[in-house]
């Protein structure tokens, strides 16, 4: 792999931007830098009035700039994108990288989605943009799927089509798995273990079961205390777990590494990404939304970036967007 060894002359030399909402997301990206320009005499300032903070460096053959978001959400992402476009006017592609909630089944390739899988967006759907009528909510997608919106330009669409072929999709997953194993040699990035990947039936809520313990929890409602509690504390019944088994086998792991820690081979899913301002914590509403919009992941930043740059959302599945979600993954 060719690695850039000379710093760009100025901020115009950066073509790739990576936008992260959380420090932990940015940490994983920066850990894979081949070179940090902050470690040299090259210091790239920013345009007057730009409030963003940046990290510059090299990944392979590309000079990249990481934009650190002050807050989560598409409004914050739009503000960061605006400042990024001012300070780095030659950006040709913005990658929104981080974590997302996963839809348990990818209808495009007819395979389950598990925690730790990666969703790569073919389009971004702003699912909470629309009109509220007495009869219900009517989504409107024109703003996200028009020119400059949630569908990337033809050049990127062609690459995504290429990645849908079995040959290139397999190569992408193999190469990504190699870099994932590089990260997992660091204590901060250990595989949590397949036993902690637990998907409950959509109708089974994460709530108190005993009415004498809580008067708020019911088959339709979850109280604030239950949300903060773990499944073991609430006694969530494992008989309500969805029975699934990953069919992808473990790849060869580096010599001396622990296969249980590196986990199964990385799986990448290409599909429509849902982007909204609401944190989804309902399996029932998750599945209804997925069926209506044809999405395979839920996140909160992509819709704020895609109006400013040709962009892709690349996010790892850390929960199933239901009431049982936690921060382990």
Q: Percent of the chain having pLDDT more than 70?
A: 89
Higher pLDDT, 272 or 6: 272
**Inter-residue contact 13 to 63 (CB < 8 Å):** yes
* pLDDT tens digits, one per residue of 108-128: 777 899 999 999 999 999 988
Q: What is the pLDDT of residue 262?
A: 56
pLDDT at 197: 93
How much is the pTM? 0.89
Per-residue confidence at 329, pLDDT binned at 50, 70, 90? very high
Tell me which H or E stretch contains 132: strand 130-133
Q: Please tell me the number of Cα atoms within 13 Å of 19 on its side-chain side.
A: 35
The mean predicted confidence, pLDDT, of the chain is 87
List pLDDT tens digits, range 206-262.
999 888 889 899 888 889 899 889 898 898 998 999 988 876 544 444 444 444 455
Give the count of beta carbons closer than 10 Å to the beta carbon of residue 123: 22
pLDDT digits (tens, 9 = 90+) for 22-71: 999 999 999 999 999 987 655 688 999 999 999 999 999 999 999 999 99
Give the DSSP per-residue string, 225-275. Answer: HHHHS-HHHHT--GGGB------PPPPPPPTT--HHHH-SPP-EEEEEEEE
Report the alpha-carbon distance of residue 84 to residue 65 in Å, rounded: 9
What is the CB-side half-sphere exposure of residue 135 using CA atoms within 13 A?
A: 2
How far apart CA 282 and CA 148 sit, in angstroms, is: 31
| Residue 142, pLDDT above cutoff 70 | no
pLDDT of residue 145: 43
pLDDT of 254 reads: 45
């Amino acid at each position: 792999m060719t690695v850039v060894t000379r710093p760009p002359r100025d901020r115009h030399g950066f073509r790739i931007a990576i936008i992260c909402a959380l420090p932990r997301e940015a940490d994983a990206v920066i850990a894979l830098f081949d070179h940090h320009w902050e470690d040299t005499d090259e210091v790239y300032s920013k345009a007057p009035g730009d409030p963003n903070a940046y990290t510059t460096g090299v990944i392979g053959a590309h000079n990249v700039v990481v934009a650190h978001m002050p807050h989560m959400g598409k409004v914050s992402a739009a503000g960061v994108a605006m400042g990024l476009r001012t300070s780095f006017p030659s950006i040709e592609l913005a990658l929104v990288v981080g974590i997302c909630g996963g839809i348990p089944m990818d209808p495009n390739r007819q395979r389950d989605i598990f925690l730790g899988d990666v969703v790569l967006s073919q389009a971004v759907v702003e699912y909470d943009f629309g009109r509220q009528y007495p009869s219900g909510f009517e989504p409107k997608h024109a703003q996200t799927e028009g020119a400059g919106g949630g569908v990337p330009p033809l050049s990127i669409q062609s690459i995504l089509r290429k990645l849908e072929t079995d040959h290139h999709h397999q190569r992408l997953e193999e190469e990504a798995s190699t870099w994932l194993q590089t990260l997992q040699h660091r204590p901060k990035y250990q595989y949590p273990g397949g036993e902690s990947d637990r998907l409950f039936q959509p109708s089974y809520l994460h709530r108190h079961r005993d009415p004498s313990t809580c008067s708020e929890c019911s088959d339709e409602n979850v109280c604030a205390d239950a949300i903060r509690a773990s499944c073991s504390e609430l006694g969530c019944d494992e008989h309500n777990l969805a029975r699934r088994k990953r069919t992808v086998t473990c790849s060869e792991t580096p010599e001396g590494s622990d296969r249980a820690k590196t986990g199964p081979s990385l799986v990448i899913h290409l599909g429509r990404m849902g982007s909204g301002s609401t944190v989804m914590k309902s399996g029932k509403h998750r599945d209804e939304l997925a069926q209506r919009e044809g999405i395979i992941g839920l996140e909160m930043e992509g819709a704020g970036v895609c109006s400013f740059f040709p962009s892709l959302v690349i996010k790892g599945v850390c929960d199933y967007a239901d009431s049982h979600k936690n921060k382990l993954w």
